[in-house]
A and B are shown apart, each in its own frame.
Chain A
Amino acid sequence: GAGVSQSPRYKVAKRGQDVALRCDPISGHVSLFWYQQALGQGPEFLTYFQNEAQLDKSGLPSDRFFAERPEGSVSTLKIQRTQQEDSAVYLCASSFGRSTEAFFGQGTRLTVV
């Protein structure tokens, strides 16, 4: 597809369950970002990849959060032992490189019950 694709669109997880969120960036985009958007808030940075290298993971809220992009294209955000405070929309974005516009996917809405 032409845009950033995220799956699933919606995920309901029981507290303590592990989840994996997938992002397919635009083909050829070097940079990939994950953001967390809580209800009524702006997106908050989680982590950044340049190709397969995770250059910045300063926004990951705890060691339960893990992201990878092993081949420099598709990325997965994994959350272990989910907690209610993890409920949010997780947004993925990709761009050609530095200071260029980022294209966002529609997000995955995670609800932890």
Chain B
Amino acid sequence: AQSVTQLDSHVSVSEGTPVLLRCNYSSSYSPSLFWYVQHPNKGLQLLLKYTSAATLVKGINGFEAEFKKSETSFHLTKPSAHMSDAAEYFCVVIYTGTASKLTFGTGTRLQVTL
């Protein structure tokens, strides 16, 4: 089955330290990959997207992600966490032939401490 797996349900980092949120996808089809962020009581906001162009994708708020086909991964990183980064992050995939249906991972809650 086509799926996307977020390896950590919860990640806690100190402010100013690097962030790594892990995501793996199933490799059946060529995917389009996205990271969305959801702040409490707010809508989902697109952070970045990969659509078969450059494998290193830069997004908003200093986030970036690297598409690694050999590892079927699309991990999200940020060099230095800020308190405002605390939120729920979703890795999302669209598989070719699925009529643009977005498949969500289960989410990773990022906690940022002082």
Residues of A within 8 A of B (CB): 3-4, 31, 33, 35, 41-45, 48, 50, 55-56, 91, 93, 95, 97-107
Known: A48-B99, A48-B101, A101-B49. A106 touches B32 (CB 8 A): no
Q: Which residues of A are found within 8 Å of B43, using beta-carbon distances?
A: 3-4, 91, 104-107
Contact between A97 and B100 (Cβ–Cβ < 8 Å)? yes
Q: How far is the CA of A23 from the CA of B101 in the complex (A)?
A: 18
Q: How far is the CA of A31 from the CA of B51 in the complex (A)?
A: 18
B94 interfacial by beta-carbon distance below 8 Å: yes
Report the separation of the CA atoms of residues A3 and B102 in the bound assembly, to the nearest whole angstrom: 19
Q: How many residues of chain B have a CB within 8 Å of chain A?
A: 22
Between A and B, 17 residue pairs with Cβ closer than 8 Å are A3-B43, A4-B43, A33-B100, A33-B101, A41-B106, A42-B107, A43-B90, A48-B99, A50-B99, A56-B101, A93-B44, A98-B99, A99-B32, A99-B96, A102-B46, A102-B102, A105-B43
Closest 7 CB pairs of A and B: A42-B104, A104-B44, A106-B43, A99-B32, A98-B100, A104-B43, A42-B107
> Within the assembled complex, what's the spacing in Å between the Cα atoms of A35 and B103?
10
**Residue B34 CB within 8 A of the other chain:** yes
| With known contacts A104-B43, A104-B44, A107-B43, A99–B100 Cβ distance under 8 A | yes
Q: Which residues of B contact A41 (CB under 8 A)?
A: 106-107
Q: Which residues of B contact A33 (CB under 8 A)?
A: 100-102
- Nearest CB of B to A99, in Å: 4
Q: CB-CB < 8 A to B51: which residues of A? A: 99
* B96 (CB) vs chain A CBs: closest residue: A99
